[in-house]
Amino acid sequence: MPSVVPSARRLVVKVGSSLVTNEGRGIDAEAIGNWARQLAALAAQGRELVMVSSGAVAEGMKRLGWTSRPRELPELQAAAAVGQMGLAQIYETSLARHGLHSAQVLLTHADLADRERYLNARSTLLTLLSLKVIPVINENDTVVNDEIKFGDNDTLGALVANLVDADAYVILTDQRGLFTADPRRDPAARLVDEASAGDAALEAMAGGAGSGIGRGGMLTKVLAAKRAARSGTSTVIAWGRESDVLLRLAAGESIGTQLTASTAKMAARKQWMLDHLQLRGAFVVDAGAAVKVLEDGKSLLPIGITEVHGDFVRGDVIAVRDPHGREIARGLANYSAAEARLVARKPSSQIEALLGYAGEPEMIHRTNLVLV
């Protein structure tokens, strides 16, 4: 399986908190400077680069003198606000040494769940790339809450890779890649050099938590690779302190674990629907409707809907679940939850009589449906 990084014109690189802050001891200026030097060399090759960096909360903890990650949301937000200042400053300084401009971009899931804000974020990032500016992206922990948080920057990096149609996604971590078992506990564990992103066996291998500094473990990285693969982006998981790791990957050297996407790049609107981490509702459909959606590429009609879950309005992204509760697709609802409950299990010809107006015959049109 050939390496995906050498041919990648647009590359997203994510670094974790333990690397950025030297295991929580404060921002590691030397490490960031080293990555900045490599980014500059890649930019000189004509590549477009996006940096997704953890570390704001950990740096804030250091500045505030806290030795353990706070549990209360306001304290986390305060730490992020304090730490973000130092994080942005060191990236700007490090990249400027090589003649590169940088830009700070803070995102929440709400920014990507809203179609207009999603497109605005995409346009901003693509404009920055066209201007040869390196965006440095982090989750906006100063305003995030349980409803909108990504949960870890591995997922954020995958969503950014989808957002900008990246060719490759490199996750730099404090592990040398994905192993068949936890190498800290099992001496027989071996490195997985290559695999297909989305292979269910990988998730079993990756069980377990990460460090006490960040929120992600190896499982979040495997799931992030699976998410990135939906838009045709392949992922490499590698040790962030490996000498010249980015340059060597770009030169074709096999380092860490490569999880290859097997799908082609997806249309932006369908990718946007897949990128929703929270959905406002769901349709449960009967077996016949599931077959029509999955195998025949048909629209979802009201007669095939057996249950309506949640509280949504027209235009919201909702899930489509089979009779066993498995999500098989998602799409844009043509009707609100209240209206859908009135017409479920009814033929489309009765919609006008039931609702008092003539709407679309489909609950979700096939052009607004994406399989998962």
C-alpha–C-alpha distance, residues 357 and 128, integer Å: 46
Q: What pLDDT was estimated at residue 215?
A: 45
Answer with the one of 226, 249, 271 that is the final residue of a domain: 271
**Are 218 and 328 part of one and the same domain?**
no
**Are 19 and 137 part of one and the same domain?**
yes
Could you state, in chain order, the average pLDDT of each consecutive group of 10 residues for the chain (372 residues)? 84 93 84 97 97 89 88 87 92 97 91 80 92 94 64 87 92 92 84 91 73 61 90 92 96 95 71 82 97 94 97 92 96 94 96 91 90 88
Q: What pLDDT was estimated at residue 368?
A: 85
Confirm whether 257 is domain-assigned: yes
**Are 55 and 37 part of one and the same domain?**
yes
Confirm whether 1 is domain-assigned: no
**Are 127 and 254 part of one and the same domain?**
yes
Q: What pLDDT was estimated at residue 227?
A: 87
Please report, for residues 23, 156, 163, 205, 301, the alpha-carbon distance to residue 180 in angstroms, rounded to integers and kept in the order given: 25, 25, 31, 5, 44
E strands of the chain, at which residues?
10-15, 48-53, 101-107, 133-139, 168-173, 194-196, 234-239, 257-260, 281-285, 305-310, 317-321, 327-332, 369-371
Q: Contact 180/205 with Cβ under 8 angstroms?
A: yes
Q: What pLDDT was estimated at residue 1?
A: 58
Letter for the amino acid at 116?
A: E
Confirm whether 154 is domain-assigned: yes
**Are 202 and 339 part of one and the same domain?**
no
366: CATH: 2.30.130.10
Backbone angles phi, psi at 47, to 5 degrees: -85, 150
Q: What pLDDT was estimated at residue 268?
A: 60
Q: What pLDDT was estimated at residue 71?
A: 83
C-alpha–C-alpha distance, residues 9 and 20, integer Å: 25
Q: What pLDDT was estimated at residue 212?
A: 41
Q: What pLDDT was estimated at residue 315?
A: 83
**Are 127 and 32 part of one and the same domain?**
yes
Q: 355-362 contacts: CB < 8 A, separation 24 or more?
A: 359/334, 359/335, 360/334, 361/301, 362/299, 362/300, 362/301, 362/334
Answer with the one of 271, 298, 333 that is the final residue of a domain: 271
Q: Contact 206/178 with Cβ under 8 angstroms?
A: yes
Q: Domain residues for 172?
A: 10-271
**Are 335 and 215 part of one and the same domain?**
no
**Are 216 and 239 part of one and the same domain?**
yes
Sequence-ordered list of residues with C-beta below 8 angstroms from that of 233, at least 6 positions apart, any chain: 12, 158, 161, 162, 165, 166, 167, 168, 169, 261
Please report, for residues 223, 317, 351, 356, the alpha-carbon distance to residue 345 in angstroms, rounded to integers and kept in the order given: 36, 21, 11, 17
